[in-house]
Amino acid sequence: MGFIAYKKEKTRGDVEKKYTKTEFIKNLRRFADALETGRTFSIQIAGENITVPQHAIINIEHEREKGAEEIEFQIKWEN
């Protein structure tokens, strides 16, 4: 299980990094804390620093494809 920045077809600006379960839990906990306290969330993914603003839209998506299933936590915002 990994924390994935983008799952869609890669474009020049997309980055992705797989995390261990421990790293994923740590980052998810930090993100939840930021949401609860109204702060921005910062994370480094594949060497790129990313800051998620407070107004980001969050959704959870479930996909089925060719016998595989996936849950994505999506965090979207406009700059």
pLDDT tens figures, 4-41: 444 444 455 777 888 899 999 999 999 999 999 999 99
Please report the DSSP string for 28-73 in residue order: HHHHHHHHHHT--EEEEETTEEEEE-TT-EEEEEEEEETTEEEEEE
* Whether pTM exceeds 0.85: no
